[in-house]
Amino acid sequence: MKTIKIFDTTLRDGEQSPGCSMNIAEKLEITEQLEKLQVDVIEAGFANSSVEDFEAVRQISKAVKNAVVTSLSRALKADIDRTYQAIKYAVKPRIHLFLSTSDIHMKHKLKKTPSQVLEIIKEHVRYSSELCGDVEFSAEDATRSEPAFLAEVFSVAIENGANVINIPDTVGYCTPEEMYKLVKYIKQHVNGVEKVDISTHCHDDLGLATANSLAAMRAGATQIECTINGIGERAGNASLEEIVMGIKTRESFYDVKTNIDSTRIYRTSRLLSSIIGIPAPPNKSIIGANAFAHESGIHQHGVIAERTTYEIMTPQSIGILENKMILGKHSGKHGLLERITALGYNLNEKELEDAFVKFKTLAEKKRVVTDLDIEAIAGQRHINYDKTYKLINYSVSTGTSKTPYACVHLSISDTISKIENEERKAQSKGDGPIDAVFKAIDIITEKEHHLDSYTIRSVTEGEDAMGEVIVKIKHENNIITGRGLSTDIIESSIFAYLNAIAKI
């Protein structure tokens, strides 16, 4: 049975989608989870797009032990050099070169003739292969390119050192039938195609990214490029979890497999959602909250009688475990650790200690602490920032006939200014209790922060549910995401606001 390689571009194409930016520490956390998921290739970023992106790619290259690490590069020698400097530390480095090949892109974007484009590909693929033994060439807007010219492009790329050729559906225009025919055409008309991997990179503008990817695979593609939760430019990319579970569930039909540990899918999805502050829609296939929920009486009766009547995969197959252990205020650290580990989290001693304190605090408020509660606690990252803020206490006064008023008391530590646990208080009025709290924090931090968005949702169930607040703060040209968690929604809001300010 043939193994399909999974190329994850969450950290590059996924991060390019609005509101999904991540800092280096968060990218490294995603990288660690992608390694556990056992993806074959990690696209770590676009090294020449910024100083921070270069450093992120460099650090990811050093951290990854098993997967290929690649970075996108334009067909420019300066870009290629910069890319190689970032990925050269990887155990398995790859340069990912791209250039447009469709008539519309060549005419309006590149302002180059087809013969000029071929010459650029020849020169820069060869240059890349001299630096790095693993080179992928992507023909941007391949699905709107002339098939005969595309075959010539890939033949030139292979002749000059490319060992992966990628067929991107850059604007999500293709249909599954067209994709199938295009891959078949490439296999029949490209010189040396039998020596390389054929890859696809499909966008979801018409909702066909997964279908197009699977059609390409049936036609002979050996690598699929995708992202966690399907995030990416515009409507997003092909979704990793849909591709993997599509193959796993219909293995006998496709007659292929992947190296992915599917029991890590749910944990990886939740981690990404918590970092970028964008939860998966409830009806999202595979990992949405409703994916294994049955409300219809007919469906419920069928599932009770025999699960496979209405479920084609199990929750356990993607890492949602059935919890038979009850955790409450009398539970100890070992019981908590066992459950955290079973849920796919690896915490060090300090992180476990912090989680246990939060668990005990929550257990005093709730009779039973659920898996969702444990996930929410374990998923709170313990990243050290130069400046950190700790809430000591707060109070708010509000009502229908009075102006909301808040008093906030914080402890501040700053490694640069060598301040440790300095206590500060401030009071402020606002348009509401949350606004008043945020304004008081601005007074303490001596800077007004522009709130771009504020989202609140319940991450657990019942009257004593944990509330997650996600704030996005505009800072210079960036959107910074902060996340807070508590059974007290004002406290959760404070945590989220402070988390975003610490990142700034």
- Please name the residue that has the structure tokens 């693993």: 134
For 281-336, write each residue's pLDDT tens digit: 889 999 988 887 644 454 445 555 666 776 788 888 998 876 556 677 778 888 88
Residue 491 CA to residue 142 CA, distance in Å, equals 50
Q: How far apart are CA 68 and CA 117, in angstroms?
A: 28
Mean pLDDT along residues 165-192 = 98
pLDDT at 335: 82
Name the strands in the sheet holding 450-458, side by side, starting at the edge strand that comes first in the sequence. 450-458, 467-475, 478-486
Handedness of CA 11, 16, 20, 21 (dihedral sign): positive
With contact defined as beta carbons under 8 Å apart, do 172 and 235 qualify?
Answer: yes
Find the mean pLDDT for residues 438-465.
Answer: 87
The ranges assigned to domains in the chain are 2-276, 290-319, 321-381, 387-503
494: pLDDT strictly greater than 70: yes
Pairwise CA distance, residues 478 & 435, whole Å? 22
**Residue range 361-396, pLDDT digits in tens:** 888 877 778 777 887 788 766 566 778 899 999 999
Torsion sign, CA atoms 401, 403, 404, 408: negative
- The mean of the pLDDT values for the chain is 91
pLDDT tens-digit map of 57-111:
999 999 999 999 999 999 999 999 999 999 999 999 999 999 999 999 999 999 9
Task: List 474's β-bridge partners, or say none.
Answer: 450, 479
According to the model, what pLDDT value does residue 163 have? Answer: 98
| Residue 295, pLDDT score | 41
- Mean pLDDT in residue range 456-466: 75
pLDDT at 226 over 90: yes
Q: Give the domain 387-503 fold.
A: Double Stranded RNA Binding Domain (3.30.160)
Q: How far apart are CA 422 and CA 158, in angstroms?
A: 61
Residue 302's pLDDT is what?
Answer: 56
438-452 average pLDDT score? 95
Structure tokens at 16: 């390019």
Q: Exposed (0-12), middle (13-18) or buried (19+): which is 465, by Cβ within 10 Å? A: middle
Instruction: Measure the CA–CA gap between 34 and 87, rounded to whole angstroms.
Output: 17
More confident residue, 348 or 439: 439
340 pLDDT exceeds 60? yes
E strand or H helix at 335, and its extent?
A: helix 333-342
Name the range with the highest mean pLDDT among 113-117, 301-305, 473-477. 113-117
pLDDT of residue 387: 81
Q: Which CATH number applies to 2-276? A: 3.20.20.70
Q: 464: pLDDT confidence band, cut at 50, 70 and 90?
A: low
pLDDT of residue 300: 46
pTM across the whole model? 0.86
Judge residue 145's burial from the number of C-beta atoms within 10 Å of its C-beta, 0-12 exposed, 13-18 middle, 19 or more buried: buried
Per-residue pLDDT of 140-170, as tens digits, reads: 999 999 999 999 999 999 999 999 999 999 9
Beta strands in 22-63 (DSSP E): 41-45
Contact present, 385 and 503 (Cβ < 8 Å): yes
Q: List, for residues 227-252, the tens digit of each pLDDT value.
A: 999 999 999 999 999 999 999 999 99
Residue of higher predicted confidence among 409 and 381: 409
The predicted pLDDT at position 322 comes to 65
